[in-house]
Structure 1
Amino acid sequence: MAADNVLNALDVAKTQWYHFTAIVIAGMGFFTDAYDLFCISLVTKLLGRIYYHVDGSSKPGTLPPNVSAAVNGVALCGTLAGQLFFGWLGDKLGRKRVYGLTLMLMVVASIASGLSFGKEPKAVMTTLCFFRFWLGFGIGGDYPLSATIMSEYANKKTRGAFIAAVFAMQGFGILAGGIFAIIMSSIFNAIFKAPTYEVDPIASTVQQADYLWRIILMVGALPAAITYYWRMKMPETARYTALVAKNANQAAKDMSKVMQVEIKPDNVQPVQDSSNSFGLFSKHFARRHGLHLLGTASTWFLLDIAFYSQNLFQKDIFTAVGWIPPAKTMNAIDEVYRIARAQTLIALCSTVPGYWFTVALIDRIGRFAIQLLGFSCMTLFMFALGIPYHHWTLKENRIGFVIMYALTFFFANFGPNSTTFVVPAEIFPARLRSTCHGISAAAGKAGAIIGAFGFLYAAQSQDPAKVDAGYKPGIGVRNSLIVLGIVNFLGLLLTFLVPESKGKSLEEMSRENEEARDETNVVEKDTLNSSLSYV
């Protein structure tokens, strides 16, 4: 069968140094992605203090609701667009040809975000949103390309762990963002020693604080810039070259350069165009993979509603239960420090371990079991936090709330946040793999946008100060947590649409081996008919 020896060699190849190199090269993109997406939540309150303080007010300045929604959510809008565009482009032009472009876009947009300019607050926020949209656009491209590249390099026994390890670098990115914010806010606080807001409202936000948020945003460009050279050195994946570009000989040569696999290029048959190939919008695709795409897209959509709500607005939840002190008891820089410390603790104790539990167990117990477990536990913990919410707001119960809240992060990452990234890179045909992963990821980002914009409204309390600032009374944190519990339960049900891919080759999952057999049968039949006609 055409190119079988190339694909089989990849499936049975022993784990070797290049696999780990590819994990780091692809994973650094996700390190940057997570840093850039989530570091904004560390500085939004600082932006409110700097640009929206009202002289004579008894409260520190806060971002108006529409500005807060835009600053938090615009990068997610860019990410959604980037996932669709680069997912499609990765199948049309090849994974490698567009892989470096996404990284360069992240580098330029990260630096530009920190240089956001304008004489008025509105102008600064507008330019910040503009550059963060393009930052998100680059981040979006990293999702389908990194997942597809890693899946096509890996062998079938450890493929899940390799793809999950790439995604697990997100945890380190979130952790790095928190740690860097802690370090920088400590340095600024030590140098400028600003008083609390209660003591001196004007002096509590020193002029130099404007540099703090800019530095935090711009540092996100460093890991992406460092990784660019090695991304450009990676060869195109053998599966794309063999199955999509139709050049099995080149695929064999490329893999022989970077991996210790026994492939004899001279004996590799060229891949012929398949008369059986079908497009994304064909009835054939709908029959074969329609439910799979619905499953991967819908579960990612529901997961991200909850996951991004928790991540982007955990500072508000911690403030609501009293784990972070009221803003007026701190200066602006100290508030950044307190928020970063809380988020770093959550990342260190629950987010990062959750990712690596998935890496360790995904090829043992399977994707389906991990996703089902994660959604189940997230549902239970959300209900356990939301239904008796007023119990958790009591001072003596706050530590219990934080522990329960941290467990939802653990089971998000040792659960659907990892598996929804892994599975779409395994179950679709090579010529549509990047596109379908991009569609699934974009559905997730649509959920994230709902989480970011919806939770901003929903979690608003009846606090008169917020109403005066332009907020409308929302359904409150308690009901928001209950709604997120329902969302996770729906994700649990839709998990049954997603097939298990543990231990199977990509061609077996996508059924491309059936296409190849059909193609061979067609060729043999045509040859036989020609021979009979000649006779």
Structure 2
Amino acid sequence: MPKELGVLNALDNAKTQLYHFTAIVVAGMGFFTDAYDLFCISLVTKLLGRIYYTVPGSLTPGTLPPNVADSVNGVAFCGTFAGQLFFGWLGDKLGRKKVYGLTLLLMVICAIASGLSFGHSAKGVIATLCFFRFWLGFGIGGDYPLSATIMSEYANKRTRGAFIAAVFAMQGFGNLTGGIVALIVSSAFDRAYKAPPYEQNASASVPAQADYVWRIIVMVGALPAALTYYWRMKMPETARYTALVAKNAQQAAKDMSKVLQVDLVSGQDKSEIEILAQDDRNSFGLFTKEFAKRHGLHLVGTAVCWFLLDIAFYSQNLFQKDIFSAIGWIPAAKTMSAIQEVYTVARAQTLIVMCGLIPGYWFTVAFIDILGRFAIQLMGFFFMTVFMFALAIPYHHWTLKENRIGFIVMYSLTFFFANFGPNSTTFIVPAEIFPARLRSTCHGISAAAGKAGAIVGAFGFLYAAQSTDPTQTDAGYPPGIGVKNTLIVLGCINFFGMLFTFLVPESKGKSLEELSGENEEESGETEEPQTSSRTVPV
């Protein structure tokens, strides 16, 4: 195969243009929606318990039973796991563009359907909600490999890391918007339908209108996805898929000339296309010895690092409310009405997003192409380990009222270094280091490994964080190992993430073809990437 096809060389050396930022916004709005839809449920799970599981006349606020809470929090991750594998494979088989709009459409429909969940009983409503959230997660899962792959294949090699990181950083704004929407909706309903605290009036603390609160919060997630659908459908197929997988370099050049200002001339370099069509030396499949030899350890590294990261990251994100309650930052449920509790939980989580999540994402955007992926991932895992242990070992010190602000600062720093670290790099690297015909599939496998970690975090942490004293656990939960020991376990998980980072290659400043070995000559030696400009044939 030639060192570089003209169109691919042009993409690698193209100046940053308006269309690059358009692609960031179009792909990023998918991740904005992903984060909103996945994490808004944690804002309303306490409300669901109080609406559907409060016993009339009881002096104890209703809570979701353990198996129900597990299902509500974790079912979307199960859908995401399946969607990442399915759409990752489909993106390589049919092309990125053909399935890109389908994922967004599925997210819009299922977000609305989740908010319209129905049933004659509490079990019916929750079962319907879980059904639609599974398929919502399925659509979200497809967005991971497709958005990452599309952005990596559009970008030039100098700023590719920043572009992919910017797409992923939209998750932070999705998280933030979820908290803001919950604050606005709960505040509006609380003013309109003022309810007394639970301890004053058990039934009145959950006004009938509270049922609208969680439904509105969930359905708002459909708006950003719906607004982006038209622009997503207008995006052309990526030049790398068209040239390297569909083997049509001429069409790839034409597609890119419509959206990027590159130096094009009339005529077709037939020799490039003929050589490309006949080139089978790099056509090995996923389940072959050649793939295992070239990329086997890379796939193990990206998958295991993402798996370990997501155990810790999603445990923290989904159950912030439980940690805040344990240290006394969120008052006891009986001191608030159901709607006031939504407001209090949303306020706490929004503060963490603003202080930790969003700055971390954008630090990655700023420094990923300067420091490199490896250094940022290793640093992130290291500091997450340090801060987890710093929270866990003197845990009882942090539960004292005068030390709660210090706890929140330390806790925010774990989120900062997750995002200025492995939460961003585990998304970026799998979109860069695998061959074009397997890129979406391998990213889907790596992301699915991450969601397997999220499922472990969602289901496992719920039980593990319970008190070791049976009399101090939430209703229906068995004794756990306690928040302190759970934080120690998460610290150890982050440490192992540091070790597996050494299996992942550095991809800074290299072309995708150089990283994947798709520009190798017969001798097996990789050619140096071209740096000079070149005219693209059309």
Tell me the SS of whatever aligns to 2:54: coil
Provide the residue aligned with 1:102 in structure 2: 103
Q: Is the 8 A contact 2:77 2:451 kept in 1?
A: yes
Task: State the AA in 2 paired with 1:414.
Answer: F
Provide the residue aligned with 1:434 in structure 2: 440
| 1:266 Cα offset (Å) | 2.2
The whole-number CA distance in structure 2 between the counterparts of 1:30 and 1:263 is 33
In structure 1, list runs of 5 or more residues that go unmatched: 521-535
In structure 2, list runs of 5 or more residues that go unmatched: 527-538
* TM-score normalized with structure 1 length: 0.95
Tell me the SS of whatever aligns to 1:272: helix
Q: Deviations over 1:216-245 (max 9, x none)?
A: 000000000000000000000000000000
**Map 1:351-362 → 2, pairs under 5 A:** 351-362=357-368
| 1:57 Cα offset (Å) | 2.2
The whole-number CA distance in structure 2 between the counterparts of 1:211 and 1:479 is 38
The whole-number CA distance in structure 2 between the counterparts of 1:42 and 1:378 is 24
| 1:469 Cα offset (Å) | 2.5
The 3 A distance-change label for structure 1 pair 58 and 273 is farther
Q: Is the 8 A contact 2:5 2:249 kept in 1?
A: no
Asked whether 1:52 is paired with 2:53, we answer yes
Asked whether 1:486 is paired with 2:495, we answer no
The whole-number CA distance in structure 2 between the counterparts of 1:373 and 1:516 is 38
**Map 1:6-405 → 2, pairs under 5 A:** 6-264=7-265, 266-268=267-269, 269-270=272-273, 271-276=276-281, 277-405=283-411
| 1:436 Cα offset (Å) | 0.2
Q: Deviations over 1:170-195 (max 9, x none)?
A: 00000000001000000000000111
Greater share of residues in helix: 1
Asked whether 1:425 is paired with 2:431, we answer yes
The 3 A distance-change label for structure 1 pair 98 and 494 is same
* TM-score normalized with structure 2 length: 0.95
Q: Is the 8 A contact 1:386 1:478 kept in 2?
A: yes
The whole-number CA distance in structure 1 between the counterparts of 2:497 and 2:513 is 27
Provide the residue aligned with 1:533 in structure 2: none
Q: Is the 8 A contact 1:249 1:266 kept in 2?
A: no
Tell me the SS of whatever aligns to 1:457: helix
The whole-number CA distance in structure 2 between the counterparts of 1:265 and 1:444 is 46
Task: State the AA in 2 paired with 1:36.
Answer: D
| 1:464 Cα offset (Å) | 5.3
The whole-number CA distance in structure 1 between the counterparts of 2:480 and 2:20 is 49
Q: Is the 8 A contact 1:53 1:60 kept in 2?
A: yes
The 3 A distance-change label for structure 1 pair 425 and 330 is same
Q: Is the 8 A contact 1:253 1:265 kept in 2?
A: no
The whole-number CA distance in structure 1 between the counterparts of 2:26 and 2:494 is 32
The whole-number CA distance in structure 1 between the counterparts of 2:178 and 2:48 is 17
Q: Is the 8 A contact 1:44 1:68 kept in 2?
A: yes
The whole-number CA distance in structure 1 between the counterparts of 2:5 and 2:129 is 50
Percent identical residues:
78
Task: State the AA in 2 paired with 1:17.
Answer: L
The whole-number CA distance in structure 2 between the counterparts of 1:55 and 1:64 is 17
Provide the residue aligned with 1:509 in structure 2: 515
The whole-number CA distance in structure 1 between the counterparts of 2:311 and 2:58 is 35
Tell me the SS of whatever aligns to 1:267: coil
The 3 A distance-change label for structure 1 pair 266 and 195 is same
| 1:461 Cα offset (Å) | 1.6
The whole-number CA distance in structure 2 between the counterparts of 1:17 and 1:434 is 25
Q: Is the 8 A contact 1:246 1:273 kept in 2?
A: no
Q: Is the 8 A contact 1:274 1:516 kept in 2?
A: no
The whole-number CA distance in structure 2 between the counterparts of 1:519 and 1:492 is 30
The whole-number CA distance in structure 2 between the counterparts of 1:444 and 1:354 is 19
Backbone CA RMSD of aligned residues? 1.5
The whole-number CA distance in structure 2 between the counterparts of 1:59 and 1:463 is 19
